[in-house]
Structure 1
Amino acid sequence: MCNSERSIFATDPKTHLSWFRPGSLEPLYRYELFGILFGLAAFNGITLPVSFPLAFYTKLMGLPISPSLLDLDWPDVSKGFRQLLDYDGDVETDWAMDHNFVIETNGLYLSLDMMHYEWTDEFEAKAVVHDVRHDKSLITKPDATQFSWPAPVTKENRLAYTHRYTEWMLDYSIRPQFYAFAKGFYRVVDLRATRLLSPANFKRLVEGHSNVTAAQLQQHVTYEGGYSSDSPHIQWFWEILQQYSEEKLRKLLEFVTASKRVPASGSAGLRFVIIALDDENGALPCSATCFGHLNLPRYESKEIMTEKLDIALEHSIGFGQA
């Protein structure tokens, strides 16, 4: 969904956050379908392995957008805006910017004059329910000529430019894709339910917490098959995990639960069960992610357990395949 060239979302290599692809040629039903799946996961409290900016959840709740949403999730754009607004020299000459909005899509760079077009409510997006904003059609302004040059950015209009650019970046350029997604999402989730949360809490509910510690996992894990918290093999297991980096702990969590994140309710919301296996030392640990089960053989030594866990995590072996 987010990583390939034909994915419906683009992922920023710096922030690792995903956003809609402007001008995507992917059919809108794919966005609607993903919205349905997204809504089902949110409705059932399933943590998703996605990373969306706060603006994504703000828009999905039907709340207004502003340049302040760029500060955390698009730091380079936000920094450029601050430098532009604080500049004391001749903005028009020194910055040499105009009101173009550039879209990179399908191997092409398209420049759209943000002052050349306007949005009209002539066509209503019947698919979008509740009070999510109505769809608008992009039309040429009546007073715009076919070959007019984009208006330059000046000291007088630079603040308006930052607001207009934000609107194009977070709304106009991805509006068809967003409305298709919202249509699917609100087939499952009532908008009024999301309004009980802040955008930050909505994000946390869907994506969970990225911070993982061995102590968190140990506090809420359960044991089956003859293991207990006092078993030597379990004590080895937690000693090994104490040496893991946070990234490796997230990999273990994904190995067992199919998600690198802790649910919004905290580690208490995890189902993490360690089950004893009487296999020989040659067997690797394996998992059943649907149930949060880690099948851990009774190895002869801590060193063997360390080696086997490393192999299993490196190759992401799960679902009983080890």
Structure 2
Amino acid sequence: MAFASRLQFFVRTNGKSLVFQANSSDTVQSLHERIQLITGIPVIEQWLIYRGKKLQCEKSLAECAIQNDASLDLVGRMQSTGHPQAWRIIDDMISIVRRLCEGKTVNDALKTIRTKISKYLSTTPKKDGDSATGHLQIFMSCSAPEVLVNLYMSPIRGNKEHAEESIRHFLESCITELPKSLQLRCAPIVLEFCKLLRRIASDDPLYLSCRSSLGSMMEVIKVQWVLEHTESVKRAISIKEIFPFVKELADKLSEVLELFPHTIASVSDVNDFTMFLRPLRTVMSGYKGFKHPISLPMENEHHNVLLCKEAVESLYHIFVDMLKKMDECLFRMEHCLSANISGEIDWSPYLTILKELNAISKLYLGSEKEFWTILSKRKRALCMDFESRRHLVMMMFPEVKKDFEEQHEMLIDRSQLLSESFEYIANAEAESLHGGIFMEFKNEEATGPGVLREWFVLVCQAIFNQQNPLFVACPNDRRRFYPNPASTVEPLHLKYFNFSGRMIGLALMHKVQVGIVLDRVFFLQLGGYSISLEDIRDADPYMYNSCKQILEMDAEVIDSDALRLTFVREVEELGSRRAVELRDGGKGMVVNSKNRNDYVDRLINDRFVTSVSQQVSHFAQGFGDILSDLGLQKFFFQSLELEDIDQMLHGSGNDISVKDWKAHTEYNGYKFNDPQIVWFWKIVRKMSPQQKKNILFFWTSVKYLPVEGFRGLASRLYIYKSMEDISHLPSSHTCFYRLCFPPYPSMTIMEQRLSIIAQEHVGCSFGTY
């Protein structure tokens, strides 16, 4: 006589698991009845799902292939749900898929499955809330992801293709059929697809697509760090579920770094790594249970810390491993550069990896210093072109925070622009400036990025204004400045140099072009370099020519003391002149052919280094205050060419391209071929370069375009049709790069209106915000 085996299994319902024991010969119907006794749910309203299939009541547990320790899902039937249509749609789809798995023929199977998916998503309640969430959870409750993945794994011909098309259609339809507010509610479904497909192979193309889709959702999803889902966070995806993707991608990228240049990093893998890593970093850096930077091994003081201790420590090990591999990779890159075989390599993925490693390093005690120590050794590999150099130095700045509470707040009176800005910035704790700045002008409603950009431009122009004694403009290039040795006439001059360094650092950090550039002698000193004769050509053309003449003069002439020079420099201070010896006993030391090189070197050093050493030192200190680490100040300037910082601070020096301007402008209320738009571009095209700049400044508060032109701006530009009377001038919303004007009846009237705002004093006055 055969005996039925005894089984223990679990039935999951509403986030809880019920434990059952039964004989394998017991029927599903008997199980339903036991569930009714425990839960009160009528048998007629119960569905039991196992491995994506609904269990038939008349069959035994053995016939349903229920294994010991198996997990079954209990879901309510259509009569108990507020979404009976959704249940019916998914049930029909699952029925088709099950028949395909059994090898049965289904006419237009793929088309029908795709239609069911589209209908299911399109009937989702459009307002985000419990109703929409409940509707979308049906897909999971019916184990639809597992059913479709089973079809993908089916050996029957055509099933894999049907499943792949269906799953890809679901990913696409989440975007096309749902409003943005609901797209994130599909993240748990996409996560389930990822978990199921990853069991097949981590390089499966469909898995990679699902992983990228989930990563895109992670960019904006509200991530909550919890060990398990509770009723209050049932919509969330936990860090515990995200971390395996971070680990998987980190391992893959580490291997790629190790194999460079034979294997090149994939842009898609790097992008996925970034997308999964950012929410993890965000939670770690913002979590109240942590003290930053984190010291390892972690202390078991806080319960909140214990929840994520494993992920925190694992991320540190990922950082250490990838940084070591990146160091080795950069070393091999240097050899590629030496052998001139680097032209075909796309460097952008490696720069992105470095950016993420830099962000991780800020979380752990001592790691940021370790990161920059390695990068300083590999400067040659990282400074191959302007984009690489810019990418490198921008990593040295803290990340600008968008959270208002973390920003340094300022209220500035325009009539006291420089003095009040000095008080707010010079007296602030350096750390308080790392989160960003929120500012507004007194008695003005305008706030936001547009006003901040205006403030940067105005303050920097005031600092370098020649009516102030701080800086001297180069005679050969009035855009370039270096410290003024006579700045001591201002009692607070050293504090103002510190303030100036902070302002230039903040402008770079906020990516604002302020129209100011540094002279070579100033730039080199900030990088810790010595100054040569050729370096002073723009700063002091007269001294340059004189020194050049001394060095090139015939030896006999200079030895005859025809120039009557000694090791002395004449300095003018407050209207009087005094002699400064360039070396001990310099007044009695005649310049001759043997010591003239020493004389010129000492003359240049005294004029451009010694006389302004304190000013340069305070500027450098202020600039370093804005960097993530003060110790990076010299490395910052050593990593750039002078022309690089020209482009970063001044932007494009070219006339504004109306073609480029037009290509980056969109319209609201107008069409591109409306008369007013056609007139607008004709008028702008005829304007002088300065008028174009004034129009652009009025529109965006951008006075100097980035070197990439309009493509380098933070957003596209917009022209809006306003409902104002045609007698009104155009207005602007600079934060949103928005210009507004009514439908002027003629090109002549429009030209009159635009000519007014194209004036310097009007173009620098802003619209609403």
Question: For 2:655, which of 201, 212, 216 is the aligned residue?
Answer: 212
Cα distance 1:194–1:113, how it changes in 2: closer, same or farther (>3 A)? Answer: closer
Question: Which residue number in structure 2 is paired with residue 292 of structure 1?
Answer: 737
Structure 1 contact 58–65 (Cα < 8 Å) conserved? yes
Question: Which residue number in structure 2 is paired with residue 267 of structure 1?
Answer: 710
Question: Which residue number in structure 1 is paired with residue 609 of structure 2?
Answer: 171
* 1:313 corresponds to 2:758: yes
Question: For 1:279, which of 710, 713, 724 is the aligned residue?
Answer: 724
Question: Which residue number in structure 1 is paired with residue 575 of structure 2?
Answer: 108
Question: For 2:643, which of 179, 200, 218 is the aligned residue?
Answer: 200
* 1:186 corresponds to 2:617: no
How many Å apart are 1:29 and its aligned residue? 1.4
Question: For 1:66, which of 512, 522, 532 is the aligned residue?
Answer: 532
Question: Which residue number in structure 1 is paired with residue 673 of structure 2?
Answer: 230
Cα distance 1:225–1:172, how it changes in 2: closer, same or farther (>3 A)? Answer: same
How many Å apart are 1:40 and its aligned residue? 1.6
Q: Residues of 2 paired with 1:69 and 1:77: CA distance? A: 11
Letter in 2 for 1:64: S
Structure 1 contact 251–260 (Cα < 8 Å) conserved? yes
Q: Residues of 1 paired with 2:745 and 2:570: CA distance? A: 61
Question: Which residue number in structure 2 is paired with residue 30 of structure 1?
Answer: 496
3-state DSSP of counterpart to 2:719: strand
Letter in 1 for 2:646: K
How many Å apart are 1:9 and its aligned residue? 1.7
How many Å apart are 1:220 and its aligned residue? 4.7
Structure 2 contact 561–590 (Cα < 8 Å) conserved? no
How many Å apart are 1:41 and its aligned residue? 1.5
How many Å apart are 1:184 and its aligned residue? 0.8
Q: Residues of 1 paired with 2:543 and 2:692: CA distance? A: 33
Letter in 1 for 2:743: R
Q: Residues of 1 paired with 2:761 and 2:645: CA distance? A: 30
Q: Residues of 2 paired with 1:76 and 1:289: CA distance? A: 44
Q: Residues of 2 paired with 1:164 and 1:173: CA distance? A: 12
Cα distance 1:29–1:313, how it changes in 2: closer, same or farther (>3 A)? Answer: same
Letter in 2 for 1:316: H
How many Å apart are 1:180 and its aligned residue? 0.6
Q: Residues of 1 paired with 2:698 and 2:581: CA distance? A: 47
Cα distance 1:255–1:62, how it changes in 2: closer, same or farther (>3 A)? Answer: farther
Deviates further, 64-73 or 32-41: 64-73
How many Å apart are 1:87 and its aligned residue? 3.0
Letter in 2 for 1:180: H
Structure 1 contact 114–164 (Cα < 8 Å) conserved? no
How many Å apart are 1:159 and its aligned residue? 2.7
Structure 1 contact 286–312 (Cα < 8 Å) conserved? no
Root-mean-square deviation (CA, aligned residues, Å) is 3.0
How many Å apart are 1:22 and its aligned residue? 0.5
Structure 1 contact 22–104 (Cα < 8 Å) conserved? no
3-state DSSP of counterpart to 2:720: strand
Q: Residues of 2 paired with 1:207 and 1:169: CA distance? A: 27
How many Å apart are 1:21 and its aligned residue? 1.4
Structure 1 contact 255–316 (Cα < 8 Å) conserved? no
Q: Residues of 2 paired with 1:67 and 1:216: CA distance? A: 43
Question: Which residue number in structure 2 is paired with residue 6 of structure 1?
Answer: 468
Q: Residues of 2 paired with 1:95 and 1:175: CA distance? A: 30
Letter in 2 for 1:18: F
Structure 2 contact 469–487 (Cα < 8 Å) conserved? no
Q: Which has the higher helix share?
A: 2
Q: Residues of 2 paired with 1:257 and 1:278: CA distance? A: 21
3-state DSSP of counterpart to 1:316: helix
Question: Which residue number in structure 1 is paired with residue 281 of structure 2?
Answer: none
What do residues 105-139 of structure 1 show as CA deviations (whole Å, max 9, x unaligned)?
5x4344342424xxxxxxxxxxxxxxxxxxxxxxx
Deviates further, 35-44 or 154-163: 154-163
Q: Residues of 2 paired with 1:291 and 1:104: CA distance? A: 50
Q: Residues of 2 paired with 1:222 and 1:98: CA distance? A: 64
Q: Residues of 1 paired with 2:566 and 2:690: CA distance? A: 43
Letter in 2 for 1:208: G
How many Å apart are 1:4 and its aligned residue? 4.7
Q: Percent identity?
A: 24
What do residues 58-114 of structure 1 show as CA deviations (whole Å, max 9, x unaligned)?
222223322221234544433333333333373475544444434455x43443424
Gaps of 5+ in 2: 1-462
Return the structure number with greater relative CO, CA threshold 8 A, min gap 6.
1
Letter in 2 for 1:161: Y
How many Å apart are 1:179 and its aligned residue? 0.6
Question: For 2:597, which of 138, 159, 180 is the aligned residue?
Answer: 159
Question: Which residue number in structure 2 is paired with residue 15 of structure 1?
Answer: 477
Gaps of 5+ in 1: 117-140
Letter in 2 for 1:30: Y
How many Å apart are 1:228 and its aligned residue? 4.0
Deviates further, 287-296 or 311-320: 287-296
Cα distance 1:233–1:161, how it changes in 2: closer, same or farther (>3 A)? Answer: farther
Cα distance 1:9–1:216, how it changes in 2: closer, same or farther (>3 A)? Answer: farther
How many Å apart are 1:48 and its aligned residue? 1.7
Structure 2 contact 732–767 (Cα < 8 Å) conserved? yes
Structure 2 contact 582–603 (Cα < 8 Å) conserved? no
The alignment's TM-score, normalised by the length of structure 2, stands at: 0.35
Q: Residues of 1 paired with 2:564 and 2:687: CA distance? A: 51
Cα distance 1:244–1:82, how it changes in 2: closer, same or farther (>3 A)? Answer: farther
How many Å apart are 1:299 and its aligned residue? 2.2
The alignment's TM-score, normalised by the length of structure 1, stands at: 0.76
